Amino acid sequence: MHSTLTEYARCLYGDEHRATPPCEKEHREQYFVEELTFAEPDAILAMLRELSPHIVDGNLPVWIRNLSYRLVLLQRPDEPGLMREAADSLWLHGPDWDTIAAGLRERADALEAASQES
């Protein structure tokens, strides 16, 4: 078993920035998605930031990246920085996701404006 979500993703999808470590375990995407679904937000963010440090790079499939941000935002719905980070990722894979990305940016702006008023 992998000790982190990042290790699991690296073994399954590879890593554009580092060599993939040898691993004897059989990898199935469905098991990875199960791990991802119930992972803590910090573990998901660590995976995203380590395997795709510049958002535009990395070997994570787009749908895994989108799902990851969605899961993080469900657990941390009031963090404008995360909303913008997710929006930036979606912009790169548009135009199908442009409306959602724009909505995330609007929500982030509204949250920041509300926090400045109080």
The verdict on pTM exceeding 0.75 is yes
For 54, counting Cβ atoms within 10 Å of its Cβ (0-12 exposed, 13-18 middle, 19+ buried), the class is exposed
Which amino acid belongs to residue 5? L
| Average pLDDT of the residues of the chain | 90
Question: What pLDDT sits at residue 35?
Answer: 94
Q: pLDDT for 96-110, tens place per residue? A: 889 999 999 999 999
What's the rounded mean pLDDT across residues 19-33? 83
| CA gap 34, 55 in Å, rounded | 23
Least confident span in 3-7, 8-12, 14-18, 95-99: 14-18
